Structure 1
Amino acid sequence: MRTCRPLPEVEAGSPEAAAGRWYDVDILDLTGVDGVDAVVVQLVAAPADADVQLPGEVTVPPSWFRGTTSFRFRLSAEGRIQGGTLNVDEVLGRTLPELLGTGLETLIHPDDLPAARRAWSRITGTTDRTPPCRQRMLLADGTWRWFESMSWNVLDVPDLGVVIAEFRDIDEQVEAERIQHLATRAHQRMVTVVDEVDDMIMVGRLDVGLVYVNEAAAELVGPDAVGQPLRSRMRPALAAFAGAVIEPAIRRNERWTGDIDVLVGGEPRTMATTVTPVVEDDGNEVYFGVVMHDVTEARRHAEELAVLARRDPLTGLPNRLALMEQLAELLEGDPDTVITIDFIDLDNLKVVNDGLGHSAGDQLLRAVGAELLAQPGRIVARFGGDEFVVVHEGLSEVEAARSARTLLSAIEAVTVVGVSSHISASVGVASCRRGDLDPESAIRDADAAMYVAKRTGRARIVAFDDTMRQVVARRFSIESGLRESLSDGRLDLHLQPVIDLVHGDVVSGYEALARWPLAAPSEFIPIAEESGLILPLGRWALHQALGALNRIAAISPALGEQRMGVNVSGHQLVEPGFAAMVIDALAEHAVNPEHLVLELTESVLIDSRDEIDDVLRRLRDHGVSLALDDFGSGYSSLGYLRRYPIDVLKLDTSYTQALLTDHGTRIIAEGIITMASRLGLRVVAEGVETPDELELARDLGITWAQGYLLGRPEPIDAVVEGLRAAHPPT
Structure 2
Amino acid sequence: IMDPTKNRFHARLLDAVGQAVIAADPLGKVIYWNRAAQELYGWSAQEAMGRPIVEVTPSEELAEQAEEIMGTLSHGRSWTGEFVVQRKDGTTFPALATDTPVHDEQGNLVAIIGVSTDITQIKQTEELRRGEERFRATFAQAAVGMAHTAPDGRLLRVNRKLCDILGYTREEMLGMTVQERTHPDDFERDLDQARRLLAGEIETYSMEKRFFRKDDSIVWINLTVSLVREASAEPDYFIAVVEDIDERKRTEIDLNREREFLKATLESLKVGIVACDAEGNLTLFNKASREFHGVAEEKSAPDEWAERYDLHYADGRTPMRKEDIPLYRAYGGENVRDAEMVIAPIDGPARTLMANGQAFYDDEGNKLGAVVAMHDITERKRAEEWLQHQAFHDPLTDLPNRYLFVDRLGQALIRTTRLENRVAVLFKDLDGFKVVNDSLGHEIGDRLLVAVAERLKGCLRPKDTLARFAGDEFIVLIEEVEGADEPLRVTQRITEEFQRPFVMDGREIVLRFSIGVALGEGYTKSPEELLRDAATAMYRAKDEAADYKVFDPAMYEQALRRLELENDLRHALEKEEFTICYQPKFRLGQPDRIEGVEALIRWEHPQWGFMLPSDFIPVAEETGLIIPIGGWVMKEACHQAKEWQERYPSEPPLGMCVNLSARQVRHPGLLQDVSATLRESGLEPGSLILEITEGTLLKDTELLETIFRELKALGVRLAIDDFGKEYSSLSYLKRLPVDVLKIDGSFVASLGEDPANTTIVEAVIKLAHSLGLEVTGEWVESAEQLAYLRRLGCDHVQGYFLAKPQPSEEVESLLANQPAY
Q: Say if 1:241 and 1:523 are closer, same or farther in 2 by CA, change over 3 A.
A: farther
Q: In the alignment, which residue of structure 1 is the partner of 2:220?
A: none
Partner deviation per Cα, 1:437-472 (whole Å, 9 max, x = no partner): 2222223223222222222233x3333333222222
Q: In the alignment, which residue of structure 1 is the partner of 2:386?
A: 304
Moved more, 197-206 or 404-413: 197-206
Q: Percent identity?
A: 31
Q: CA deviation at 1:723?
A: 10
Q: Say if 1:684 and 1:250 are closer, same or farther in 2 by CA, change over 3 A.
A: farther
Q: Say if 1:296 and 1:563 are closer, same or farther in 2 by CA, change over 3 A.
A: farther
CA distance in 2 between counterparts of 1:586 and 1:614 reads: 15
The unaligned stretches of length 5 or more in structure 1 are 1-190
2:454 aligned to 332, 354, 370, which one? 370
Q: In the alignment, which residue of structure 2 is the partner of 1:384?
A: 470
Q: In the alignment, which residue of structure 2 is the partner of 1:401?
A: 488
CA distance in 2 between counterparts of 1:298 and 1:700 reads: 79
Q: CA deviation at 1:618?
A: 3.6
Q: In the alignment, which residue of structure 1 is the partner of 2:423?
A: 339
Q: In the alignment, which residue of structure 1 is the partner of 2:11?
A: none
1:549 aligns with 2:638: yes
Q: In the alignment, which residue of structure 1 is the partner of 2:599?
A: 511
Partner deviation per Cα, 1:574-632 (whole Å, 9 max, x = no partner): 5xxx2x40121133334354444332222222344543443334434444433211123
Which amino acid in 1 is paired with 2:730? L
CA distance in 1 between counterparts of 2:579 and 2:377 reads: 60
1:314 aligns with 2:396: yes
Which amino acid in 2 is paired with 1:545? M
The structure whose Rg is larger is 2
CA distance in 2 between counterparts of 1:490 and 1:654 reads: 34
Q: In the alignment, which residue of structure 2 is the partner of 1:421?
A: 509
Q: CA deviation at 1:408?
A: 0.5
Q: Do the aligned partners of 2:303 and 2:322 also contact (CA within 8 Å) in 1?
A: no
1:476 aligns with 2:476: no
Moved more, 320-329 or 513-522: 513-522
Partner deviation per Cα, 1:99-142 (whole Å, 9 max, x = no partner): xxxxxxxxxxxxxxxxxxxxxxxxxxxxxxxxxxxxxxxxxxxx
Q: In the alignment, which residue of structure 2 is the partner of 1:453?
A: 541
CA distance in 1 between counterparts of 2:270 and 2:353 reads: 9
CA distance in 1 between counterparts of 2:286 and 2:626 reads: 65
Q: In the alignment, which residue of structure 2 is the partner of 1:707?
A: 799
Q: Say if 1:213 and 1:564 are closer, same or farther in 2 by CA, change over 3 A.
A: farther
CA distance in 2 between counterparts of 1:439 and 1:678 reads: 61
Q: In the alignment, which residue of structure 1 is the partner of 2:742?
A: 650
Which amino acid in 2 is paired with 1:439? P
The unaligned stretches of length 5 or more in structure 2 are 1-261, 313-319
Which amino acid in 2 is paired with 1:688? V
Which amino acid in 2 is paired with 1:465? D
Q: Please provide the CA RMSD for this pair.
A: 5.1
Which amino acid in 2 is paired with 1:442? L
Q: CA deviation at 1:423?
A: 2.7
Q: Do the aligned partners of 1:408 and 1:425 also contact (CA within 8 Å) in 2?
A: yes
Q: Say if 1:549 and 1:572 are closer, same or farther in 2 by CA, change over 3 A.
A: closer
Q: Say if 1:291 and 1:624 are closer, same or farther in 2 by CA, change over 3 A.
A: farther
CA distance in 1 between counterparts of 2:754 and 2:522 reads: 58
Which amino acid in 1 is paired with 2:620? A
Q: Secondary structure at the match of 1:447?
A: helix
CA distance in 1 between counterparts of 2:786 and 2:805 reads: 18
1:526 aligned to 607, 615, 618, which one? 618
Q: CA deviation at 1:300?
A: 1.8
Partner deviation per Cα, 1:619-674 (whole Å, 9 max, x = no partner): 34444433211123353753442343322211223333222543443333233222
Q: CA deviation at 1:357?
A: 4.4
Partner deviation per Cα, 1:306-337 (whole Å, 9 max, x = no partner): 21233233333333333222222222244433
What is the aligned length?
A: 529
Q: Secondary structure at the match of 1:412?
A: coil
Q: Secondary structure at the match of 1:330?
A: helix
Q: Say if 1:300 and 1:698 are closer, same or farther in 2 by CA, change over 3 A.
A: same
The TM-score with structure 2 as length reference comes to 0.53
Which structure's relative contact order is higher, taking Cα pairs within 8 Å and 6+ residues apart?
1
Q: Do the aligned partners of 1:627 and 1:647 also contact (CA within 8 Å) in 2?
A: yes
CA distance in 2 between counterparts of 1:275 and 1:721 reads: 91
Q: Say if 1:408 and 1:595 are closer, same or farther in 2 by CA, change over 3 A.
A: same
Moved more, 244-253 or 707-716: 244-253
List aligned pairs for 1:466-615, cutoff 5 A. 466-485=553-572, 488-489=574-575, 491-502=577-588, 505-513=593-601, 515=603, 517=605, 518=608, 520-529=612-621, 532-533=622-623, 535-550=624-639, 552-554=641-643, 557=646, 561-574=653-666, 578=667, 580-591=668-679, 592-615=684-707
Q: Secondary structure at the match of 1:702?
A: coil
Q: CA deviation at 1:542?
A: 2.1
List aligned pairs for 1:220-239, cutoff 5 A. 237=311
Q: In the alignment, which residue of structure 1 is the partner of 2:412?
A: 330
Q: In the alignment, which residue of structure 2 is the partner of 1:635?
A: 727
Q: In the alignment, which residue of structure 2 is the partner of 1:675?
A: 767
List aligned pairs for 1:136-285, cutoff 5 A. 237=311, 256-259=337-340, 270=352
